[in-house]
């Protein structure tokens, strides 16, 4: 007879959030904690992630949109006001500027009289995946790796309860990775980081370091496969620790991870079904006790529509609480132990993943594979296959390519056409942040700021650990933009390969009619039909732009795609120099109302008047209509999944623009 065990403590329950300002985000955090959330997961806005202050020209339209702006120690004070740092477990989604935000957090703790050794939490700090998926990198890979290793070495020695990195397979799955690729490329990153830490820290015994490293994983809808993926991950992590780094302590070798379940699979069509998807994906990371998540944060049902409201976040939190407290999930040992199916699938995934780890190492390691574009191209290809399967119906997505009949959703029923179903950031928030950072600069000791920035440049240039230098700068009142500029002066900047140039996909015969149309159009125009794809602003989520580029190339368009973070002026210049027939913009940061009109104005100023402009992104219906009124020819949102139809639409737009339809 199986006896029930005493229930174990549930995982840390978080909600990924932050918006508008430090004060507004603090109110949200305190409300969520009052509802039973047990940890914080801070989302920072794009200027903060990329080392810019709110008044920098590149920050325009991006301040407070996808997270909270934190420009200096005063903002960190406001963000954590009334929240006890000595007991709170705080996760910060920050990478390129991770040393800086960690320094601000430590400086605040010391200001409050809380020793750094008492702090608990995580800095994401996995810079390699930024070159592959999210795009919030600044510096070249080798220099970024040095900043990452500095943060880890400092934390292990001075903040021993802090996780100084969580290796992020989550974002690789969002970029299209299969379970095998998700494990392999993440472990490839682990090797690159751990080797750098061992060298930089002159560490012989890696046990303490290895035991503080954690993961941030993804869980998709293929439930059995996800359970086995996590078991394979744990198996290979232990193998890596024992065989490469000589770690033998079972506690240090434990696979420790937090999770946000898959956002890639959330749909704009019948979005109420996302509630079921989120729950099922959560089971994949909680049912198996041997590899149960240490912390869970869930997306909201309406994330494919826009920014979730506090109530939507509460609904996701309640999902976790019902699972942890109303079921008997936490009362038993691992229920998959002894399963032949699970064991065989786990071995299969682990074997294939380790084979790809060895391939990455043969090609020079993760950093070399970032610079060559090898990993990025594999992810683009996998994502293209996934999208093709959805289009062709071989991968079923309820409400999207099957069972599409539906009654109107009461969750979206409102006089504003559903716009009230998402949170809208106050347009005045950006101006307020600009005023606030300028006021901060005026009241600080400029001499102290100048001295600490000079010390930061000199120290980083000599190869010193960036953390003590950054903590001193934080206490002196240095801003995020000043810290970022100082390191740009020393380390330089970098543009990663797009992943489009070398990616190969099978020829899609279903779009042969589109190919014929594009070919005939080119003959009538006297040259190839040319499409410029651009990502204005700071948004680095390029998956959609890459897939459009691949499919357009397959349909016969000549494609110009320069990658992420291109200014409106640069896009207009490219449109003129390349003589394009169509411009496609991808904006996923919620900044479309600011950035798209800027691009339209830049095109008109450059004399580009007969070129249709289309826009893709998470764009509410009301905003789409407003953009069309400004001159945008088409707006595509996540519900427009059929890329073949979009290609046909693009060809028609060019034909009409030239009077050929």
Query: Which residue in the block uniquely carries the two structure tokens 């040393």?
Result: 99
Q: Which pair of tokens denotes residue 531?
A: 């499409």
The residue from 541, 554, 581, 592 that is catalytic is 541
Residues ≥6 apart with Cβ < 8 Å to 472: 452, 455, 456
Q: How far is CA 253 from CA 236, 294, 348, in A?
A: 10, 15, 22
The residue from 146, 171, 229, 345 that is catalytic is 171
How far apart are the two ends of the chain, measured CA to CA in Å? 75
For residue 259, what are the β-bridge partners?
217, 296
Identify the CA nearest to 271 among candidates 398, 113, 416: 398
The answer to whether 170 and 163 have CB atoms below 8 angstroms apart is no
CA–CA dist 262, 574 (Å, integer): 35
The answer to whether 554 and 507 have CB atoms below 8 angstroms apart is yes
Q: Which pair of tokens denotes residue 597?
A: 């009109």
The residue from 539, 554, 594, 623 that is catalytic is 539
Pairing of strands 89-93, 613-616: unpaired
Alpha-helix residue ranges (DSSP H) falling in 259-339 = 274-284, 310-326
CA–CA dist 286, 277 (Å, integer): 15
- Count of C-beta atoms within a 10 Å radius of residue 18: 27
Residues ≥6 apart with Cβ < 8 Å to 202: none
Phi/psi for 85 (5° steps) reads: -65, -30
The residue from 65, 129, 530, 535 that is catalytic is 535
CA–CA dist 435, 455 (Å, integer): 28
Residues ≥6 apart with Cβ < 8 Å to 609: 603
Identify the CA nearest to 112 among candidates 136, 135, 83, 90: 83
Identify the CA nearest to 92 among candidates 216, 252, 208, 219: 216
> Taking the mean position of all CA atoms in its chain, how far away is CA 358?
26
**Active site includes 170?**
yes
**Active site includes 171?**
yes
Q: 3-state class of 343 per DSSP?
A: helix
| CA-CA-CA-CA torsion sign (396, 400, 406, 410) | positive
Residues ≥6 apart with Cβ < 8 Å to 411: 271, 272, 301, 302, 421
The residue from 170, 185, 374, 636 that is catalytic is 170
Residues ≥6 apart with Cβ < 8 Å to 342: 224, 227, 228, 231, 336
The answer to whether 615 and 72 have CB atoms below 8 angstroms apart is no
Identify the CA nearest to 563 among candidates 540, 547, 591, 530: 540
Identify the CA nearest to 319 among candidates 15, 623, 17: 15
**Active site includes 276?**
no
**Active site includes 154?**
no
Identify the CA nearest to 93 among candidates 131, 127, 54, 118: 127
Please list the active-site residues.
16, 170-171, 535, 539, 541
């Amino acid at each position: 007879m199986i006896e029930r065990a005493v229930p174990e403590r549930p995982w840390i329950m978080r909600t990924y959030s932050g918006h508008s300002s430090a004060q507004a985000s603090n109110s949200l955090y305190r409300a969520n904690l009052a509802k039973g959330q047990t940890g914080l997961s801070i989302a920072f806005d794009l200027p903060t992630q990329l080392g810019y202050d709110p008044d920098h020209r590149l920050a325009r339209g991006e301040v407070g949109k996808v997270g909270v702006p934190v420009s200096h120690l005063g903002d960190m004070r406001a963000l954590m006001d009334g929240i006890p740092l000595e007991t709170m477990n705080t996760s910060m989604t920050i990478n390129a500027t991770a040393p800086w935000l960690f320094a601000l957090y430590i400086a605040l703790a010391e200001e409050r009289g809380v020793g750094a050794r008492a702090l608990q939490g995580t800095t994401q700090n996995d810079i390699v995946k930024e070159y592959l998926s999210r795009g919030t990198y600044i510096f070249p890979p080798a220099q970024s790796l040095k900043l990452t290793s500095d943060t880890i070495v400092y934390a292990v020695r001075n903040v021993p309860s802090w996780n100084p990195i969580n290796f992020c397979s989550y974002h690789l799955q969002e970029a299209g990775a299969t379970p095998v690729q998700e494990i392999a490329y993440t472990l490839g990153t682990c090797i690159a980081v751990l080797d750098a830490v061992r060298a930089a820290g002159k560490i012989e015994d890696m046990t303490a370091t290895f035991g503080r490293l954690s993961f941030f994983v993804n869980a998709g809808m293929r439930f059995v496969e996800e359970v086995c993926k996590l078991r394979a991950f744990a198996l290979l992590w232990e193998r890596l620790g024992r065989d490469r780094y000589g770690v033998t302590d079972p506690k240090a070798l434990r696979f420790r991870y937090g999770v946000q379940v898959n956002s890639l699979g959330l749909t704009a069509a019948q979005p109420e079904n996302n509630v079921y998807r989120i729950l099922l994906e959560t089971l994949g990371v909680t049912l198996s006790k041997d590899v149960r998540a240490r912390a869970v944060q869930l997306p909201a049902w309406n994330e494919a529509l826009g920014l979730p409201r506090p109530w939507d976040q509460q609904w996701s939190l309640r999902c976790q609480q019902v699972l942890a407290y109303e079921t008997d999930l936490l009362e038993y040992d691992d229920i998959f132990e002894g399963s032949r199916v699970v064991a065989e699938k786990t071995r299969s995934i682990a074997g294939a993943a380790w084979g790809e780890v060895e391939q990455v190492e043969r090609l020079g390691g993760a950093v070399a594979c970032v610079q060559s574009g090898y990993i990025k191209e594999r992810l683009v290809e996998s994502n293209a296959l996934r999208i093709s399967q959805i289009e062709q119906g071989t991968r079923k997505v309820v409400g999207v390519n099957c069972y599409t009949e539906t009654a109107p959703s009461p969750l979206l029923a409102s006089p504003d056409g559903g716009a009230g179903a998402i949170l809208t950031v106050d347009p005045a928030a950006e101006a307020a942040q600009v005023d606030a950072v300028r006021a901060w600069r005026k009241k600080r000791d400029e001499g102290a700021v100048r001295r600490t920035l000079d010390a930061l440049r000199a120290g980083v240039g000599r190869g010193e650990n960036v953390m003590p230098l950054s903590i001193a700068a934080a206490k002196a009142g240095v801003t995020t933009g000043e810290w970022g500029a100082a390191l740009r002066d020393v380390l330089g900047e970098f543009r990663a390969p797009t992943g489009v140039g070398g990616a190969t996909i099978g020829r899609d015969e279903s779009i042969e009619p589109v190919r014929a149309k594009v070919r005939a159009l080119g003959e009538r125009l006297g040259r190839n039909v040319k499409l410029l794809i651009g990502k204005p602003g700071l948004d680095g989520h390029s998956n959609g732009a890459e897939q459009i580029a691949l499919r357009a190339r397959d349909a016969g368009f000549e494609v110009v795609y320069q990658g992420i973070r291109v200014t409106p002026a640069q896009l207009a210049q490219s449109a003129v120099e390349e003589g394009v027939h169509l411009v496609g913009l991808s904006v996923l940061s919620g900044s479309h109302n600011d950035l798209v009109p800027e691009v339209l104005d830049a095109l008109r100023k450059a004399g580009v008047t007969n070129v249709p402009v289309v826009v893709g992104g998470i764009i509410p219906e009301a905003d789409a209509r407003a953009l069309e009124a400004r001159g945008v020819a088409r707006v595509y949102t996540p519900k427009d999944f059929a890329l073949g139809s979009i290609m046909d639409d693009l060809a028609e737009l060019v034909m009409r623009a030239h009077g050929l339809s």
